[in-house]
Amino acid sequence: MSKVVIVGAGVNGVTAAIELKKRGHQVILIDPGPLPHPLAASTDISKAVRAAYGADNDYTELAERSIKLWRKWNEEFGIELYHEVGVMFVRRREMEPGDFEYESFKMLQKRGLKVERMNSAQVWRRFPAWNPELFRDGILEVEAGYAESGRSVAALIKRAKSLGVELLERHKFEALDDVNGRITTVILSEVEESRGESLKVTSRGPSTPLGMTRIAGDRVVMTVGAWTPYLLPFTKKFFRASGQPVFHLKPRQPELFTHERFPVFGADITATGYYGFPLNRDGIVKIANHGPGREMSPESSQRTVTSEDEANLRNFLSWAFPDLADAQIVYTRVCMYCETHDGNFWIAQDPERQGLVIAAGDCGHGFKFAPVLGEIIADAVEEKSNPILEKFRWRPEVRAGSGTDVARFHGENESTTRLSE
Ligand SMILES: Cc1cc2nc3c(=O)[nH]c(=O)nc-3n(C[C@H](O)[C@H](O)[C@H](O)COP(=O)(O)OP(=O)(O)OC[C@H]3O[C@@H](n4cnc5c(N)ncnc54)[C@H](O)[C@@H]3O)c2cc1C
């Protein structure tokens, strides 16, 4: 068995650490912390868990398996991390072939998954917050919902520690170090600790700069999400970090937004980008935009929601959910995607840097696969064959604009405003 150094303890890093530990490897998981890290994409109150992926059978199959495992995790962890409240994707016109919603409907039906068509007044009566005059058609995926992402990462970190994963917090990756062309070592800086706890310094080789630490291993796995193009500049040609606005709202009539009447949704998502979640236990309705976003570093000072983001949200609410239009915004956040040119994840060995594996490129849709991510990344580390790794392979040949998550909004077009205007 080998010694694996994993950098970044978001959902990619911690699930990989657990799986590799289970397979008998010595595993060190490094993150500046505190965990779940407040700036991490994985740290939020909710992430949608859906099998609706248009005509893409790979993601649909992976999501279907993940949903079964999310249910199992609820039992294993003894807490409801995943809420199976249903996910609806609706349009302002009748669905037609080629639409994300239409193709998802066909695919989910073909796979025997529970899905309802939302094209009758009777169906819409169940969801009073929605304007049935406006939204005409769509799908309700019944066996889907949302995961409490931050809580899930916290539970997974605990499990990793209990399995013997060596967690090295308050250390930050600074650089890779190769020995004879093989990446076996990472150089870390120590993060100042305001709470006065003593720091665990592991090893400081002769050539290690002051205040730096070297951690050596047989394999190095980089799972630093949107930080990847900044920490590994050679990846800038195939990764881009983009910031997406997220809003937490306090509705005046919370009873309209409970999950029975307001499941997870995508509101004409390929034309508006807007999606959201039912009222959570703290009385919050989260709404965000799965759109082009703004390119920036995860540590940029620009990483704040703009007045334009807020104005766009208010405009959307005014016509989609009039009862939410004047809801108080109690929290905002810019959450970061690690984008690839084709919208697919990137989980692969670096062909030019032996010993290095990069597992990133979430494109804003990776969290739902948490229950299967660990095994996929571990297979890449162990160079085991896994059909899905072909989709996530090292592919510098893929150019920008080669595709994206099928449920994604690409930017302004005539239909982002209210149809009837
Ligand atoms: C707004 C938004 C909404 C989303 N909604 C959904 C959804 O509904 N459904 C879904 O399936 N997915 C969704 N996603 C995608 C999901 O969040 C990601 O797929 C997932 O969280 C990516 O995890 P990660 O581990 O790659 O990155 P992260 O969670 O960002 O973790 C990266 C880790 O690297 C660490 N790190 C950074 N720098 C260093 C360093 N120098 N040294 C060591 N460690 C470092 C950080 O501290 C962090 O813990 C969404 C993402 C965003 C941004």
Q: What is the CATH number of the domain that holds 376?
A: 3.50.50.60
Please indicate, yes or no, whether residues 367 and 411 belong to a single structural domain of this protein: no
Please indicate, yes or no, whether residues 230 and 256 belong to a single structural domain of this protein: no
Residue-by-residue pLDDT tens, the chain, 421 positions: 899 999 999 999 999 999 999 999 999 999 999 999 999 999 999 999 999 999 999 999 999 999 999 999 999 999 999 999 999 999 999 999 999 999 999 999 999 999 999 988 878 889 999 877 889 899 999 999 999 999 999 999 999 999 999 999 999 999 999 877 788 899 999 987 544 444 344 444 445 566 789 999 999 999 999 999 999 999 999 999 999 999 999 999 999 999 999 999 999 999 999 999 999 999 999 999 999 999 999 999 999 999 999 999 999 999 999 999 999 999 999 999 999 999 999 999 999 999 999 999 999 999 999 999 999 999 999 999 999 999 999 999 887 766 667 788 877 554 444 434 3
> Distance, CA 40 to ligand 1 centroid (Å)?
5
Please indicate, yes or no, whether residues 16 and 160 belong to a single structural domain of this protein: yes
- Pair 164, 21: CB distance under 8 Å: yes
Domain range enclosing 175: 3-42+151-238+342-391
Residue that the structure tokens 């150019």 belong to: 399
- Pair 94, 119: CB distance under 8 Å: yes
**Number of domains the chain is built from:** 2
Separation of alpha carbons 134 and 175, rounded Å = 52
In this structure, is the dihedral angle defined by the CA atoms of residues 406, 407, 412 and 416, taken in order, positive or negative?
positive
| Of 16, 46, 41, 19, residue with least CA distance to 30 | 16
> Distance, CA 107 to ligand 1 centroid (Å)?
28
User: Is residue 133 a part of any domain in this protein?
Assistant: yes
User: Is residue 290 a part of any domain in this protein?
Assistant: yes
Please indicate, yes or no, whether residues 224 and 156 belong to a single structural domain of this protein: yes
Please indicate, yes or no, whether residues 134 and 264 belong to a single structural domain of this protein: yes
Please indicate, yes or no, whether residues 411 and 312 belong to a single structural domain of this protein: yes
User: Does the Cβ of 147 fall within 6 Å of ligand 1?
Assistant: no
Please indicate, yes or no, whether residues 173 and 296 belong to a single structural domain of this protein: no
User: What CATH number is attached to the domain comprising 268?
Assistant: 3.30.9.10
Atom of ligand 1 minimally distant from the CA of 224: 34
Radius of gyration of the chain (CA): 22
Pocket test for ligand 1, best of 5, 11, 334 (most atoms within 8 A of CB): 11
Please indicate, yes or no, whether residues 252 and 379 belong to a single structural domain of this protein: no
User: Is residue 266 a part of any domain in this protein?
Assistant: yes
User: Is residue 53 a part of any domain in this protein?
Assistant: no
User: Does the Cβ of 316 fall within 6 Å of ligand 1?
Assistant: no
Please indicate, yes or no, whether residues 276 and 310 belong to a single structural domain of this protein: yes
User: Is residue 300 a part of any domain in this protein?
Assistant: yes
Please indicate, yes or no, whether residues 170 and 307 belong to a single structural domain of this protein: no
User: Does the Cβ of 40 fall within 6 Å of ligand 1?
Assistant: yes
Residue that the structure tokens 């004409």 belong to: 268
Please indicate, yes or no, whether residues 120 and 209 belong to a single structural domain of this protein: no
User: Is residue 204 a part of any domain in this protein?
Assistant: yes
User: Is residue 302 a part of any domain in this protein?
Assistant: yes
Please indicate, yes or no, whether residues 350 and 257 belong to a single structural domain of this protein: no
User: Is residue 325 a part of any domain in this protein?
Assistant: yes
